[in-house]
Structure 1
Amino acid sequence: MAGHFVRLDDCIFDRPPSLVDHEIADHFRGGEILPIFQLAFRPASLLWASNRQGRQGHLLKIPGTIPILALLCATGTPAIASATTYYVDSVRGNDQYAGTSQTQPWQSLARVNAFPLRPGDQVLLATGSAWKEPLTISRSGRASAPIVVTAAGDGPRPRIDVGDLSPHGVAVMNAEYVTISGLEVTNDAPTPAQRFGVLVSAQDRGVTRGIRISDMYIHDVRGTNDRKDNGGIVFRATGQKRATRFQDLRIERNIVWRVDRSGIAGISDRVTFLNWFPSEDVVIRDNYVEDIGGDGIVPRGTDGALIEHNIVKGAGSRAPGYSAGIWQWSTDNSLIQLNEAAYTRTRYDGQGFDSDFNSRRTTFLYNYSHDNAGGFLLICSPKRNDTDNLGNRGTIARFNVSRNDGTRIFQLSGHVSDALVEKNVVHVGKGLDVQMVVATDWDGWARDVRFRDNIFNVAGTARYGSESGRSGPDYLIRAGFAPAEHVRFNGNVYRGRHIDLPDDADGQFSATYVEQPADWQIPVFDPARPDGFSDFLIQHRSWMLSMLQRELQATVTLKQPQRISIFETRR
Structure 2
Amino acid sequence: MRKFAVVPLALLLLSVGSIAHAAPAAATYYVDAAAGNDAANGITAGTAWRSLAKVNTVALHPGDTISFKRGGSWNGTLTLSASGTEEAPIVVGAYGTGNLPKIGGPVTNCVHVTGSHLAIGDLRASGCDWAGFELAGDDIVLDTVQADANVVGVSIVDGSDSNTIRWSTIKDNTKMSKLTPKEVNPDDDSGAFGVLVHGNDNVISRNVISGQYAFSYDYGFDGAAVEIFNGNRNLIEYNTTSDNESFTELGRNGTGKTADGNVFAYNSVTSTKAQGAFLVTRGARSNIGPVRGTVAVNNSVSIPNGDGWSCDAGCGAGILKLRSNVIKVGKKVGYEDAFDSGDPAESADEDRSVYAGSVYQFALGPNSVKADPLFTSSTDLRLKAGSPAIGRGENAGFPYDLAGKPLAGITRFDAGAYQF
Q: Measure, in 1, the Cα distance between the counterparts of 2:351 and 2:205.
A: 25
Paired amino acid for 1:169: C
Aligned to 2:318: 393
**8 Å contact 2:247–2:278 — kept in the other structure?**
yes
The match for 1:301 among 230, 234, 257 is 230
Unaligned runs of 5+ in 2: 1-21, 175-191, 215-222, 252-257, 283-288, 400-420
Please tell me whether residue 252 in structure 1 is matched to residue 166 in structure 2.
yes
Give the TM-score normalised by the residue count of structure 1. 0.54
- Identify if the C-alpha distance between structure 1 residues 254 and 381 changes in structure 2 by more than 3 Å, giving closer, same or farther: farther
Please tell me whether residue 119 in structure 1 is matched to residue 62 in structure 2.
yes
Point out the more displaced range, 248-257 or 372-381.
Answer: 372-381
Structure 1 counterpart SS, 2:229: coil
Q: How does 1:375-454 map to 2 (within 5 A)?
A: 375-381=307-313, 393-403=318-328, 405-413=329-337, 417=346, 419-428=348-357, 434-437=358-361, 451-454=365-368
**8 Å contact 1:341–1:353 — kept in the other structure?**
no
Q: Measure, in 1, the Cα distance between the counterparts of 2:153 and 2:88.
A: 27
- Identify if the C-alpha distance between structure 1 residues 413 and 105 changes in structure 2 by more than 3 Å, giving closer, same or farther: farther
Please tell me whether residue 219 in structure 1 is matched to residue 148 in structure 2.
yes
Structure 2 counterpart SS, 1:103: helix
Aligned to 1:16: none
Q: Measure, in 2, the Cα distance between the counterparts of 1:548 and 1:86.
A: 54
Paired amino acid for 1:455: V
Please tell me whether residue 553 in structure 1 is matched to residue 410 in structure 2.
no
Paired amino acid for 2:262: S
Structure 1 counterpart SS, 2:173: strand
Aligned to 1:199: 134
Q: Measure, in 1, the Cα distance between the counterparts of 2:385 and 2:51.
A: 48
The match for 2:139 among 189, 192, 210 is 210
- Identify if the C-alpha distance between structure 1 residues 437 and 396 changes in structure 2 by more than 3 Å, giving closer, same or farther: same
Paired amino acid for 2:41: A
Q: How does 1:1-12 map to 2 (within 5 A)?
A: none
**8 Å contact 1:394–1:418 — kept in the other structure?**
no
**8 Å contact 2:164–2:203 — kept in the other structure?**
yes
The match for 1:232 among 147, 153, 157 is 153
Q: Measure, in 2, the Cα distance between the counterparts of 1:82 and 1:549.
A: 61
- 1:208-249, CA deviations, whole angstroms, 9 ceiling, x for partnerless residues? 43111121122222x3xxxxxxx1111102xxxxxxx23321
* Superposed displacement of residue 266, structure 1: 1.2
**8 Å contact 1:351–1:372 — kept in the other structure?**
no
Aligned to 2:123: 183
Give the TM-score normalised by the residue count of structure 2. 0.72
Aligned to 1:265: 196
- 1:319-345, CA deviations, whole angstroms, 9 ceiling, x for partnerless residues? xxxxx3223334222210111222274
Q: Measure, in 1, the Cα distance between the counterparts of 2:319 and 2:149.
A: 38
* Superposed displacement of residue 560, structure 1: 5.8
Unaligned runs of 5+ in 1: 1-78, 189-193, 202-207, 224-230, 238-244, 269-278, 317-323, 384-390, 429-433, 439-448, 458-514, 524-542, 562-571
**8 Å contact 1:169–1:185 — kept in the other structure?**
yes
Q: Measure, in 2, the Cα distance between the counterparts of 1:264 and 1:548.
A: 35
Bigger fraction of residues in strand:
1
Aligned to 2:243: 314
The match for 1:520 among 366, 370, 377 is 377
- Identify if the C-alpha distance between structure 1 residues 249 and 232 changes in structure 2 by more than 3 Å, giving closer, same or farther: same
Aligned to 1:351: 277
- 1:79-111, CA deviations, whole angstroms, 9 ceiling, x for partnerless residues? 965311111111121111111112111111111
Please tell me whether residue 365 in structure 1 is matched to residue 222 in structure 2.
no
- Identify if the C-alpha distance between structure 1 residues 251 and 187 changes in structure 2 by more than 3 Å, giving closer, same or farther: same
The answer to which structure, 1 or 2, has the higher relative contact order (CA under 8 A, 6+ apart) is: 2
**8 Å contact 2:38–2:51 — kept in the other structure?**
yes
Please tell me whether residue 172 in structure 1 is matched to residue 113 in structure 2.
yes
Structure 1 counterpart SS, 2:60: coil
Q: How does 1:28-67 map to 2 (within 5 A)?
A: none
- 1:489-530, CA deviations, whole angstroms, 9 ceiling, x for partnerless residues? xxxxxxxxxxxxxxxxxxxxxxxxxx697623645xxxxxxx
Q: CA RMSD in A?
A: 2.9
- 1:322-376, CA deviations, whole angstroms, 9 ceiling, x for partnerless residues? xx322333422221011122227465xx421223432222111111111253311
- 1:13-48, CA deviations, whole angstroms, 9 ceiling, x for partnerless residues? xxxxxxxxxxxxxxxxxxxxxxxxxxxxxxxxxxxx
The match for 2:79 among 123, 136, 143 is 136
Larger Rg: 1
